[in-house]
């Protein structure tokens, strides 16, 4: 799993500062649908008589969506976008607060009835945050657990209160605090950022809020549950035990053993006496916390149990998991029914009245009949079986071919998602990426515009990849992954500025064909065009592209000392057509500045207020000041000499040097020019010729052309005795023909009779 963003250098460290990454994520044409598996569900009941209930879905695409529920429809009414990695769990707290957690190690709070604005970010976990639990009757308490083994209990009201006492100027000057887990904490605005940095600051307590830590887990935590009043918390994970805590103090109450594998789901009844657990050992267990023992075991599933939901009276449990099946079990009589089967493993369940919503590794969400208030009615249909006590009992029945028939053949409603990308290949031209999605469709994307330029349909990915192969060599200026179900393009400085192309190859009109275009710079200009326009509206044209005065300039001053102004193009904000991003389906930017940690936002939602505290300094310097960082040499050294046996020679001494993107036809023109000049000027040193170690620039071939005779010699350039296409670049010849680490050697010869 990739990590978005990076940790900045500390005051006491002598290591070079690692620059922040900028990522942009492509958006599907239908932004109201998830494009990756749905990890979590949450139901918000309407507070008015005729108002709709809402279903919240959190996805592996990094977003949450709100759905207004009707009898036969679910309409997407908002997208909540700020997490930069998978959303793993979500809960409703109080009347309208949505809390989510993510693999980006943060918790975020949202106004559930808003248009998707994040109200707070909390970041004290050391690893992915996997699960949440809320107290229904205490609107301030939320617990979180993660892969780092932490279980943290948050008071949401207290976590924001101290911040209001301080101005933004305090953000960068907060002293260290320790949360009891050994992690130093930097509190900045509404963001509490976990850090391993050793900042030179007083040892007094930071003004930020520190949650209660329930210490005891030595391994990853995957499941949490809390009773209504917030006085009891249970947790489970890879240690195979259920731990019971007092969330008010974080103290351990008891430890319950019985499962033989990872505990993936937990439920508590309203009183806090009974607990249900589901495990990767395929078992469901009912625990009496008063007696501190397991009172029933239910062998219902044939594989891992990943999701549980109980009836309001806690008399029945709905369960799902890796076996693709949804079961209903009577906890007292041990009767079980197979309600339905799907095509994907079930990740979470949410009961609403007489139906149950099912989330899975698929991007779609399904609603099944459930009879939530009277589940015993379903058992009157028959086909029930008695749940065994041993895990292998259900597996054995399945192998013998007597698996139960499902009560329902299909769901009553489906919220359809889009197919996520499961395979991708960056093409050699470094502008196109070929993808294959979960539906089998193969598409070709242009990453400098964020659009699909060809949909091949359901065809062989390998055949299309072979068909699109080009013998061309361009530096890898970005990396890509499809972890979020769509393409994420990562740009890291200075590597991202290594790729250039001629404007003629990009078909840019009204621009000299020999002008070099830096792909990363133009892509950044396209991504930040809306931000730049809004920024100019805010600060006015008098700033002349400089960063707004009054901000911290120390970072910028240091940055400029390491930058070189690229003078090959004028300093303007013009976005060329090959770099224009869609405003209908705009990509989202994931990045970070000097505070607050990584964030995600659509490029059309950038309002121009973002500055060096929010965006990487190198990105700002490129877009505002046309400055690029110092890069590795983009020249190609080569030796040009006549082919063995050729009687034609030109006067060159030593190595030649030219841009890697230089075409072979330019070298041909150079040889012709030298031949003509050497003949007409009696081998004297003429304009356009050079001595040892010259730089062969794009304009070197234009000199002396007026003195060419009507009949010019026809020249071929060879490498390793292979005639080169005039359209090949020096980099391509070196990569595919020369294939050696030493300097490239090119041979020329005159072709007779042409």
Alpha helices (H) along 470-518: none
Q: Please work out, in degrees rounded to the nearest 5, the angle formed at the alpha carbon of residue 434 by the alpha carbons of 429 and 440.
A: 170
CB-based burial, 95-114: b 16+ in 10 Å, e otherwise: eebbbbbbbbbbbbbbebee
Tokens 């950022």 sit at which residue?
A: 193
Structure-block tokens of residue 212: 């209660």
**C-alpha distances out from residue 659 to 234, 478, 493, 630, 741, Å:** 64, 20, 20, 16, 17
Predicted pLDDT at 630: 85
Closest CA relative to residue 268, chosen from 215, 216, 310, 214: 310
Predicted pLDDT at 724: 95
Structure-block tokens of residue 107: 């918790």
Q: Please work out, in degrees rounded to the nearest 5, the angle formed at the alpha carbon of residue 145 by the alpha carbons of 144 and 147.
A: 150
Q: Please work out, in degrees rounded to the nearest 5, the angle formed at the alpha carbon of residue 465 by the alpha carbons of 460 and 471.
A: 160
Give the C-alpha separation, 552 to 565, whole Å: 22
Torsion-angle region of 457 (φ positive above 0: left; ψ -120 to 50: alpha; else: beta): left
CB 93 within 8 A of CB 156: yes
Residue 34 CB burial class (10 angstroms; 0-12, 13-18, ≥19): buried
Structure-block tokens of residue 661: 């993107």
* pTM given for the model: 0.84
**C-alpha distances out from residue 742 to 114, 660, 667, 732, 746, Å:** 62, 15, 19, 15, 13
Give the C-alpha separation, 359 to 39, whole Å: 6
CA diameter of the chain: 108
CB 676 within 8 A of CB 712: yes
Spans in the chain with pLDDT lower than 70: 1-17, 160-207, 395-402, 540-572, 653, 677-712, 753-754
In tens, the pLDDT along 457-496 reads: 999 999 999 999 999 999 999 999 999 999 999 999 999 9
Dihedral, CA atoms, 268, 270, 271, 277, nearest 10 degrees? Answer: -10
Closest CA relative to residue 286, chosen from 302, 301, 303, 269: 269
Q: Before 577, cis peptide (omega within 30)?
A: no
Give the C-alpha separation, 31 to 444, whole Å: 19
Closest CA relative to residue 93, chosen from 48, 144, 50, 129: 144
* Three-state secondary structure of 527-588: HCHHHHHHHHHHHCHHHCCCCCCCCCCHHHHHHHHCEEECCCCCCCCCCCHHHCCCCCCCCE
CB 363 within 8 A of CB 37: yes
Predicted pLDDT at 209: 82
Q: Please work out, in degrees rounded to the nearest 5, the angle formed at the alpha carbon of residue 184 by the alpha carbons of 182 and 190.
A: 130
CB atoms under 10 Å from CB of 439, counted, come to 10
Predicted pLDDT at 341: 95
Q: CB within 8 A of 419, min separation 6: which ones?
A: 35, 363, 437, 438, 439, 441
Instruction: State residue 264 phi and psi, 5-degree precision.
Output: -110, -15
Give the C-alpha separation, 155 to 235, whole Å: 18
Structure-block tokens of residue 643: 């082919």
């Amino acid at each position: 799993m990739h990590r978005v963003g990076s940790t900045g250098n500390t005051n006491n460290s002598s290591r070079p500062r690692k620059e922040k990454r900028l990522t942009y994520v492509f958006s599907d044409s239908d932004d109201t649908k998830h494009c990756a598996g749905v990890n979590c569900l949450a139901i918000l009941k309407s507070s008015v008589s005729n108002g709709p209930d809402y279903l919240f879905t959190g996805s592996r695409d990094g977003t949450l969506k709100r759905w207004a529920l009707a009898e036969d429809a679910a309409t997407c009414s908002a997208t909540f976008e700020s997490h930069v990695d998978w959303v793993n769990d979500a809960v409703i707290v109080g009347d309208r607060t949505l809390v989510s957690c993510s693999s980006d190690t943060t918790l975020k709070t949202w106004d559930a009835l808003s248009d998707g604005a994040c109200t707070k970010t909390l970041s004290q976990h050391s690893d992915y945050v996997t699960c949440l639990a809320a107290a229904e009757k205490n609107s301030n308490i939320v617990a979180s657990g993660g892969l780092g083994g932490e279980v943290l209990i948050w008071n949401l009201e207290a976590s924001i209160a101290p911040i209001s006492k301080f101005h933004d100027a305090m953000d960068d000057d907060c002293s260290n605090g320790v949360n009891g887990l050994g992690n130093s904490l930097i509190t900045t605005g509404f963001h509490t950022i976990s850090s391993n940095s050793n900042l030179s600051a007083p040892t007094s307590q930071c003004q930020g809020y520190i949650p209660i830590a329930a210490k005891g887990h030595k391994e990853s935590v995957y499941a949490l549950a809390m009773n209504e009043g917030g006085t009891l918390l249970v947790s489970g994970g890879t240690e195979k035990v259920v731990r019971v805590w007092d969330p008010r103090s974080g103290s351990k109450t008891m430890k319950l053993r019985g499962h033989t594998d990872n505990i993936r789901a937990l439920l508590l009844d309203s009183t806090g006496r009974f607990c249900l657990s589901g495990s990767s050992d395929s078992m469901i267990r009912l625990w009496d916390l008063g007696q501190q023992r397991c009172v029933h075991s239910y062998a219902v599933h044939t594989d891992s149990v990943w999701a549980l939901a109980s009836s309001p009276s806690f008399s029945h449990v709905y369960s799902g998991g890796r076996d693709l099946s949804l079961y209903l079990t009577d906890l007292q009589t041990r009767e079980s029914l197979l309600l339905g089967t799907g095509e994907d493993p079930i990740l979470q369940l949410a009961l609403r009245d007489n139906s149950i919503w099912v989330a899975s590794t698929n991007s779609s969400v399904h609603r099944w009949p459930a009879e939530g208030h009277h589940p015993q009615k379903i058992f009157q249909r028959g086909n029930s079986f008695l749940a065994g006590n041993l895990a292998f009992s259900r597996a054995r029945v399945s192998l013998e071919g007597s698996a139960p028939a499902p009560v329902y053949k299909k769901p009553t409603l489906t919220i359809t998602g889009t197919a996520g990308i499961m395979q991708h290949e960056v093409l050699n031209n470094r502008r196109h990426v070929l993808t294959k999605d979960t539906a089998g469709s193969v598409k070709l994307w242009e990453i400098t515009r964020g659009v699909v330029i060809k949909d091949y349909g359901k065809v062989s990915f390998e055949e299309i990849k072979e068909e699109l192969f080009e013998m061309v060599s361009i530096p890898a200026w970005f990396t890509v992954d499809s972890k979020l179900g769509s393409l994420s393009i990562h740009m890291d400085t200075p590597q991202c500025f290594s790729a250039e192309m001629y404007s003629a190859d990009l078909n840019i009109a009204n621009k000299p064909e020999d002008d070099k275009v830096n792909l990363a710079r133009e892509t950044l200009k396209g991504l930040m065009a809306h931000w730049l326009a809004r920024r100019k509206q805010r600060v006015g044209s008098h700033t002349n592209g400089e960063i707004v005065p009054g901000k911290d300039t120390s970072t910028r001053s240091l940055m400029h000392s390491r930058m070189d102004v690229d003078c090959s193009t004028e300093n303007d904000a013009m976005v060329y057509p090959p770099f224009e991003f869609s405003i209908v389906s705009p990509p989202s930017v994931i990045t970070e500045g000097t505070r607050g940690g990584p964030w995600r936002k659509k490029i059309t939602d950038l309002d121009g207020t973002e500055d060096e505290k929010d965006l990487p300094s190198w990105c700002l310097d490129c877009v505002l000041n046309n400055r690029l960082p110092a890069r590795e040499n983009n020249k190609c050294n080569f030796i040009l000499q006549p082919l063995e046996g050729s009687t034609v020679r030109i006067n060159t001494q030593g190595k030649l040097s030219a841009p890697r993107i230089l075409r072979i036809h330019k070298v041909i023109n150079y040889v012709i020019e030298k031949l003509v000049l050497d003949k007409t000027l009696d081998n004297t040193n003429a304009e356009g010729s050079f001595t040892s170690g010259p730089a062969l620039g794009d304009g070197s071939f234009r000199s002396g052309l007026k003195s060419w005779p009507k009949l010019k010699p026809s020249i071929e350039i060879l490498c390793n005795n292979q005639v080169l296409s005039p359209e090949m670049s020096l980099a391509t010849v070196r990569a595919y023909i020369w294939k050696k680490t030493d300097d490239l050697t090119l041979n020329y010869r005159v072709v007779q009779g042409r």
